[in-house]
A and B are shown apart, each in its own frame.
Chain A
Amino acid sequence: MSFVPVILWSDALVFLLLLAGIASAWYVRQREHLLLPWRRVATSSVAMVSLLVLSFFLVVGLLDTLHYRVALPEQSNGKTVYSPEVLSVFDKLVTPLRAQTEKTYSAPLAVTLYAKESTSDASGNILRDYPRLRYGGVHLTDEQQRDGDVLWRGLTGALVGLMVGLAIVFGSKRWLAQRGWPLRALLIATLIISALIGMTVNLAAAYHVLGTDKVGQDVLYLSLKSIRTGLIIGTVTTLVTLPLALLLGIAAGYLRGWVDDVIQYVYTVLSSIPSVLLIAAAVLMMQVTIDTHPQWFDTSASRADLRLVFLCMILGVTSWTGLCRLLRGETLKLRELEYIQAAQAFGVSSFRILTRHIMPNVMHIVLISLVMDFSGLVLAEAVLSYVGVGVDPSMISFGTMINAARLEMGREPMVWWALAAAFGFMLVLVLAANLFADAVRDAFDPRFNRTEVVT
């Protein structure tokens, strides 16, 4: 089966961010003074466990970023035709989850649908009963066997996961210990995560672990797919925020005069508009542009994707002002220090002073604010999607999941699993991000840590 790789706009931006991340990691590795605060982060067990959880999300998100289109069997005048459906490597890995859709709602680990249906038996009598699912638990001959089977599969899966986890633990123990990382917390977290993954994988092979939604899609699959959307909103936005805030902030602080006035005016205007309203206005206008130019997009995925990229840009344009203000203040302080004055006295150009002396000394503020903003952006996505100015309704995200599930609140008995899954995954992601961000702030903010002195 041949395929053609597809690089959507958001994919390209993610790769760009990844490259930038690797490059800066390599840069920091070479320099002991830059590495020091990171070493402090690495000694915190909370931070390292959060990082482990985050990296699990990151792997899922990255796998979900490698997109391709499969060639269709038929050909048109000798040229291969590719399916309009854009898939990702992650989709390929979890093909059963994606493809095995039921008719409609079913509860987590259920073997029957959630609603009764009329069926006729062999002799023509009409019965009202819960019909069996097409995929969930089909290997069972009797519904009564389900509990035992779930228990057995869960336990064996967890056991296998635990084994794999133990292998990883023993393989990496010495390596971890050499670095002085919090050994015990990391090892326990690895074991728990691998047991959970093992259990889920083994159960997902035969059941819908988190149930199915209205059109019968597996909720676990939807939740895992939402991770990429959340991560992109949280990270790609910084691609817009960072250059704007950094350039304008230090330019305003260092050059002062009319440059400062203009920049201050621009960010005061932007920040005086309540952000939700500004985002709503901008997204409405973006929608008009997208709807009036359908010729720009070859697949529906690329349209949804471009909308996501635009959303990130809009979020970036509305959220750079806070960081810009901080950077301006810090630069105002720095430019009065002796070493800057010495550089000025030597006749170093303004540009060189800015890039060489000021920028490195405000980087800790940039880093802290970036990691602190991440969780807020992930949460904002859900709210914006509810308000109707979020991602494209066809794009799987926590917001669209919650939005769809919310409409079923009035149903009796309540369909709770899609909501619970979306909120649960979001909570884990945001909590891990918050805890990690706190550790980064404590390590980088000079106000928080004065005790450790470089020797």
Chain B
Amino acid sequence: MIAYLIRRILYSLPILVGVNLLTFALFFVVNTPDDMARMQLGIKRVTPDAIEKWKQQRGYDKPLLLNSAASGTDKITGTIFWQKSASMFVLDFGYSDDGRSIGREITTRMGPSLAIALPTFLIGLVAYVSFALLMTLFRATALDMAGVALCVLLMSVSGLFYIIGGQFVVSKLWHLVPISGYDGGMGGFKFVVLPIVIGVIGSVGSSSRWYRTIFLEEIGKDYVRTARAKGLSELAVLFRHVLKNAMIPILTGVVVIIPLLFMGSLLTESFFGIPGLGSYTIDAINAQDFSVVRAMVFLGSLLYIVGLILTDISYTIVDPRVRLS
């Protein structure tokens, strides 16, 4: 198991290197730092001096890959690639345009992101699986048809609608919770409840339908027939056998997103004014703060890869047949 994990982590290193090279190419080669400086300082009236100053402030005034002016190891380390891109491997994300440490921002903003994303994820999982089980129990009846129709309808609605509509009805018409804001501790409850509810409703359609497909596929298998032939009730078949066997396909889709919960949700956080990583990313995109976007891209893929490894581990827990070696 340990050996497998180590090998698995080593396998994922090349992928991170690939992500790193890709972001490097995207941010420094497609457009040179000069282009970025010109864009940020205004296109027309910009002097070479101003560009140089902008680059120097951000440490972009070095060669891209090889610093031939320096000597020794500085040839490699005195470059943009080494200082801006490769340093992300040790989680050193550098500084944003307003001079703050990105690493510190990430650690302080993870909390609020998790406060929304984790409950949304857990409540959502239970709700979707229960709804899907209900549809499976009443499969091929009017109830099932209505459930599927509802799912298709819900998944055809734009995610923005749930947020805007929810804010309008709950906060503006009924005055139940504040429209936006955030507070740590118990006082924050009134701020997080609406984003969580909307987050859960937002993906009822696609998720429940997907789980229903999984359950229906399981229910056609031989072990279900055996269980029924034994005289088990339909409920016992569903909960004791189908649900357990459906765990593998469910875990495949679910475990991988657990680490990504840290990143929060872009839309929810920016609409509800939650100071998490999602709104941090959106602000960075709007302010065209390239170093923050680059850091988030790297962090996102790092967490995704962690999720993939966790998925493999979770298989061994739910399915004793799977051995990692």
Contact = CB atoms under 8 A, between A and B. Distances in A.
B93 to A, nearest CB: 14
B39 A291 contact: yes
A414 interface: yes
Nearest to B161: A423
Contact of B27 (A285, A382, A426): A285
A435 interface: yes
A277 interface: yes
A144 interface: no
Interface string B156-168: 1111110010011
B48 interface: no
Contact of A269 (B22, B155, B267): B22
Question: Which 10 pairs from chain A and chain B are nearest by CB?
Answer: A269-B18, A431-B156, A274-B300, A430-B156, A272-B301, A288-B31, A273-B301, A288-B39, A272-B304, A277-B297
A277 B43 contact: no
B232 interface: no
B259 to A, nearest CB: 11
A282 B263 CA distance: 19
Contacts of B301: 272-274
Contact of A431 (B153, B159, B282): B153
Nearest to A389: B285
Interface string B26-44: 1100110001101100010
B14 interface: yes
Given A272-B15, A278-B297, A388-B282, A383 B35 contact: no
Given A273-B304, A387-B285, 7 more contacts: A272-B19, A272-B305, A272-B308, A278-B297, A389-B285, A409-B172, A423-B158
A379 interface: yes
B18 A435 contact: no
A266 B17 CA distance: 11
Nearest to A266: B18
A402 B18 CA distance: 36
Contacts of A379: 158-159
Contacts of B308: 272
B26 A285 contact: yes
Interface stretch (B95-103, B119-127, B133-141, B287-295): B287-295
Contacts of A409: 164, 167-168, 172
B294 A281 contact: yes
Interface size class of A (residues with CB under 8 A): 35 or more
A265 B31 contact: no
A265 B266 contact: no
A426 B297 CA distance: 30
A438 interface: yes
B100 to A, nearest CB: 20
A419 B164 CA distance: 9
Interface of A: 265-266, 268-270, 272-274, 276-278, 280-282, 284-285, 287-289, 291-292, 294, 375, 379, 382-383, 386-389, 398, 402, 406, 409, 414, 419, 423, 426-427, 430-431, 434-435, 438
A281 B26 contact: yes
B155 A434 contact: yes
27 contacts: A265-B14, A266-B18, A268-B18, A272-B15, A273-B297, A274-B260, A274-B297, A274-B301, A276-B266, A277-B296, A284-B285, A287-B288, A288-B36, A292-B38, A375-B156, A379-B159, A382-B160, A387-B266, A388-B282, A402-B164, A406-B164, A409-B167, A414-B172, A427-B158, A431-B156, A434-B152, A434-B156
B23 interface: yes
B286 interface: yes
B160 to A, nearest CB: 6
Contacts of B156: 375, 427, 430-431, 434
A396 B61 CA distance: 39
Contact of A284 (B18, B288, B304, B305): B288
Contacts of B164: 402, 406, 409, 419
Contacts of B267: 383, 386-387
A100 B152 CA distance: 38
A389 to B, nearest CB: 6
B293 A284 contact: yes
A269 B297 CA distance: 12
A281 B293 contact: yes
Interface string B5-31: 000000000110011001100110011
A419 B155 CA distance: 18
Contacts of A266: 18
A294 B267 CA distance: 31
Contacts of A398: 158
B281 interface: yes
A288 B285 contact: no
